[in-house]
Amino acid sequence: MGKVLTLLTVVPENQEKIDKTLDELKKISGYNSGKIEDYVFGTKAIKVSYICEDSEARDFEEELSKIPGISSVNVEEVGLV
């Protein structure tokens, strides 16, 4: 079986607590990388990626949406590694 990489853009509700939000994202199993980037209209977003086995079929968009303090989650890319 292969591994699947999922790249997402996460926008926090509170821009001032973006570092804390990134710390919460790092706690999700399968975390690969994350960084804070400029987004739109002077706001910041977090680009985060996760890796899992392709047999797991995890919905990271749904998992991350349940974390308190997250405004939106968008899947940017999904592919085999």
Predicted local distance difference test score (pLDDT) of residue 23: 96
What was the pLDDT predicted at 51?
A: 97
Give phi and psi for 38, each to the nearest 5: -65, 140
Digit-coded pLDDT (tens) for 13-70:
999 999 999 999 999 999 999 999 999 999 999 999 999 998 888 999 999 999 999 9
CATH code for residues 3-80: 3.30.70.60
Beta carbons of 46 and 25 less than 8 angstroms apart = yes
Look up residue 41 and give its DSSP letter.
T
pLDDT of residue 16: 95
CA distances from 20 to 37, 58, 60, 77 (A): 15, 24, 19, 24
- Asked whether the predicted pLDDT for residue 1 surpasses 80, the reply is no
pLDDT, residue 20, reads 95
